[in-house]
């Protein structure tokens, strides 16, 4: 059993190797002023550690580790394998990726290593062995950080051969493969494993990477393969570390919105702790950021690490305005509210050169501590030191869950036809937003999770239903569960072949419907939808399913009110066994979808964390018989606290006082009370 984190970590990425050693003591003094207690080091130091193949130089890293250990910092030790030194490209060109256009890259950037390169795997393994052997005994190292922000694909010859071997393991025979990919189409039948090509612009794909493909089964399998190949690299490093240290947690940092190239559910079991890098854009709605945190928490159903964030600006977004006064504190505590047990920044000290020199930091270029940004960092550090024991390891209970699945992500966005506007994440967010607005906690889960622990499963655009999933869903509803799903669900199997007999395939019986046709709305066009006993009409767009009711206990809650299919069902409810299932046949506007969710909430008995309407964000964590309500005003305007959170028994652990009736812009309260109150 791995040990957990010893305390709430507050710190982030520090690159002392970019600075003279004479600066280190001054940096440490500044960190201490802000109650920073942890540092992540050695993320991009391969060229310093191994200037030539097999020649290792750990003198500077030894000094860094000793200095930080003496200052009693918790150390997150990275493995430096995320960016390769120049000599590797010169000596072993196969370590570099070949891109979607078929071009082999040269030295530069990062995320540039081929996961199938024998030379990269060998050299990375040797470096990690040296690091783990040298530093495993240091008690200040509280986590090992493998590589950095895995992602992206390679289309080289090594990957092609490795892909062929991966397919042999998956399909066993060419007959099975040809059937799975329906290779009789366009004379694509494969007669020898070495005939299989990678799906890039030179072969069976076109357009921007990951957008169009001729053989969707091939392309989805290639994404599965690349995710597995990267995971194999991660586990190579993890297993090397575990030869010397079997107690300290090992992890890598996930990133993206979410990252399309890595199946985080497949990776989660090999992460001792989930870690996430969070960089919301200035115009990202708060519910979008909340969704990402709930996704991270749901990967292992336990607290996660906020591994990277910024105290001010980033350098890579198209627009990066300053965070408003107190905004940084509020947005960092949003992560804590949704299950983070750490707050960490990139970067602790602002670089002098390189592309990230404008990226915000705890120590800015001015190197002063009387700045607004530093004072806010210090304030949060003091508060986390004071309150960390209250929320560390606290659970985030939820009785509703939203399904997010990477195979669906990949396959849905490969669909050729109907409309080019099929984007998986925004359609998931339509539904997450509804529960967020109702202050109803949700988990974001995978298709292999246990559904029985939830009163409601929401599975928007469940386009790909793998073998056994239809039966799992039917059993869940039959036994009293509640299912909400949508258009473009139940259409294909895990090889992206259509289920015959009518959509939504294996979900037809539990939903009590079949879909005859699907209309696509063109830009600027909407279709009217009317709910029974309501004169108001709402708008549907993107797709409009032509639905037929087949169950004796199936009824329409809403009908289309325009187009040639006016009067046909648009939203359907079905009693199935002891449970209920709903199907939404079009992408409803926010108000129309709100009508559906109100019906679902009424039938399931789900309740929000406050009985009043508010645009404050309210979340709840529980621990040792105590409950914490995180109340966040994520706006630049003041807001009133709901009166049911002003009741006796609540204490704001940040101030030690009773709750304030009004939250100022970007204000936060963390309200604590016993669960029996």
Catalytic residue IDs: 149, 308
CA-CA distances (angstroms) from residue 143 to 77, 267, 347, 459?
Answer: 6, 17, 18, 35
381, 49 in Cβ contact below 8 A? no
And the tokens for 523?
């830009």
- Rounded to whole angstroms, what are the CA distances from 193 to 13, 166, 222, 235, 643? 45, 11, 15, 27, 67
Say if CB 442 and CB 396 are below 8 A apart: no
Nearest to 445 by CA among 418, 502, 405: 405
* DSSP-assigned letters across all residues of 131-145: HHHHHTT-TTEEEEE
CA distance 95 to 97: 7
Report which DSSP code applies to 369: S
From CA 562, how far away is CA 549, in angstroms rounded?
19
**Bridge partners for 630 per DSSP:** 619, 670
**Number of residues in the chain:** 677
Query: Cα(first)–Cα(last) distance of the chain, in Å?
Result: 36
Go through 251-287 and write b for each residue having 16 or more CB atoms within 10 A of its CB, e for each that does not: bbbbbbbbbbbbbbbbbbeebbbbbbbbbbeeeeebb
Contact 257, 292 (CB under 8 A): yes
For tokens 């079991």, what's the residue?
269
Residue with tokens 């325009």: 562
DSSP 55: B
> 123: closest CA among 162, 78, 166, 80?
80
Would you say 240 and 125 are in contact if contact means Cβ atoms under 8 Å apart? yes
Cis-peptide into 347, omega within 30 deg: yes
Cβ count near 572 (within 10 Å):
23
> 629 in helix, strand or coil?
strand
Instruction: Please give the Cα distance from 197 to 456 (Å, whole number).
Output: 42
Radius of gyration of the chain (CA): 26
């Amino acid at each position: 059993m791995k040990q957990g984190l010893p305390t709430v970590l507050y710190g982030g990425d520090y690159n002392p190797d970019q600075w003279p050693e004479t600066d280190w003591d001054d940096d440490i003094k500044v960190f201490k002023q802000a109650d920073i207690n942890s540092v992540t080091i050695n993320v991009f130091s391969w060229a310093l550690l191994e200037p030539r193949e097999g020649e290792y130089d750990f003198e500077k890293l030894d000094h860094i580790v000793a200095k930080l250990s003496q200052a009693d910092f918790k150390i997150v030790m990275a493995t430096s394998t995320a960016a390769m030194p120049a000599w590797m490209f010169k000596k072993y060109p196969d370590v570099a990726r070949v891109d979607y256009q078929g071009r082999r890259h040269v030295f530069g950037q990062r995320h540039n290593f081929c996961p199938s390169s024998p030379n990269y795997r060998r050299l990375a393994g040797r470096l990690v062995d040296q690091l783990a052997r040298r530093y495993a005994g240091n008690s200040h190292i509280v986590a090992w950080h493998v590589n950095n922000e895995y992602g992206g694909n390679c289309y080289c010859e090594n990957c092609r051969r490795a892909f062929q071997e991966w397919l042999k393991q998956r399909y066993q025979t060419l007959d099975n493969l040809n059937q799975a990919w329906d290779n009789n189409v366009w004379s694509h039948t494969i007669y020898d494993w070495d005939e299989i090509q990678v799906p890039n612009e030179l072969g069976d794909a076109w357009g921007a990477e990951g957008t169009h493909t001729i053989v969707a089964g091939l392309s989805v399998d290639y994404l599965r393969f690349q995710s597995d190949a990267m995971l194999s690299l991660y586990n190579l490093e993890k297993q090397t570390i575990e030869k010397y240290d079997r107690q300290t947690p090992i992890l890598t940092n996930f990133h993206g919105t979410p990252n399309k190239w890595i199946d985080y559910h497949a990776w989660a079991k090999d992460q001792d702790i989930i870690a996430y890098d969070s960089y919301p854009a200035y115009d990202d709605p708060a519910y979008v950021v909340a969704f990402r945190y709930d996704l991270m928490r749901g990967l292992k159903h336990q607290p996660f690490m906020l591994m990277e964030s910024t105290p001010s600006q980033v350098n890579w977004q198209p627009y990066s305005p300053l965070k408003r006064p107190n905004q940084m504190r509020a947005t960092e505590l949003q992560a804590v509210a949704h299950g983070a047990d750490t707050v960490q920044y990139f970067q602790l000290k602002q670089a002098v050169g390189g592309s990230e020199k404008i990226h915000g930091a705890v120590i800015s270029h001015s190197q002063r501590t009387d700045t607004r940004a530093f004072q806010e960092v210090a304030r949060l550090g003091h508060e986390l030191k004071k309150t960390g024991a209250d929320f560390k390891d606290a659970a985030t209970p939820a009785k509703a869950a939203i399904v997010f699945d990477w195979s669906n992500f990949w396959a849905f966005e490969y669909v050729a036809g109907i409309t080019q506007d099929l984007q998986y994440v925004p359609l998931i967010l339509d539904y997450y937003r509804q529960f967020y607005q109702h202050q109803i906690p949700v988990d974001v889960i995978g298709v292999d999770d246990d559904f029985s622990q939830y009163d409601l499963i929401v599975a928007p655009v469940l386009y790909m239903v793998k073998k056994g999933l239809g039966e799992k869903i039917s059993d869940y509803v039959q036994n009293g569960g509640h299912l909400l799903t949508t258009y473009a669900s139940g259409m294909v199997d895990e090889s992206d072949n259509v289920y015959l007999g009518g959509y939504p395939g294996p979900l037809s019986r539990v939903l009590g419907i079949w879909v005859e046709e699907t209309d696509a709305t063109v830009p600027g066009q909407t279709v009217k939808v009317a709910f029974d006993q309501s004169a108001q009409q709402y708008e549907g767009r993107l797709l409009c399913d032509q639905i037929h009711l087949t169950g004796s206990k199936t009824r329409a809650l809403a009908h289309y009110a325009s187009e040639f299919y006016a009067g046909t069902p648009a939203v359907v409810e079905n009693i199935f066994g002891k449970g209920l299932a709903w199907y939404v046949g079009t992408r409803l506007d926010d108000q129309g979808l709100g009508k559906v969710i109100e019906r679902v909430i009424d039938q399931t008995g789900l309740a929000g964390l406050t009985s009043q309407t508010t645009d404050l964000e309210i979340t709840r964590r529980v621990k040792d018989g105590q409950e914490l309500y995180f109340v966040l005003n994520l706006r630049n305007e003041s807001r009133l606290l709901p009166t049911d959170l002003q009741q006796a028994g609540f204490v704001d652990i940040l101030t030690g006082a009773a709750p304030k009736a009004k939250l100022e812009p970007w204000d936060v309260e963390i309200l604590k009370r016993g669960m029996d109150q």
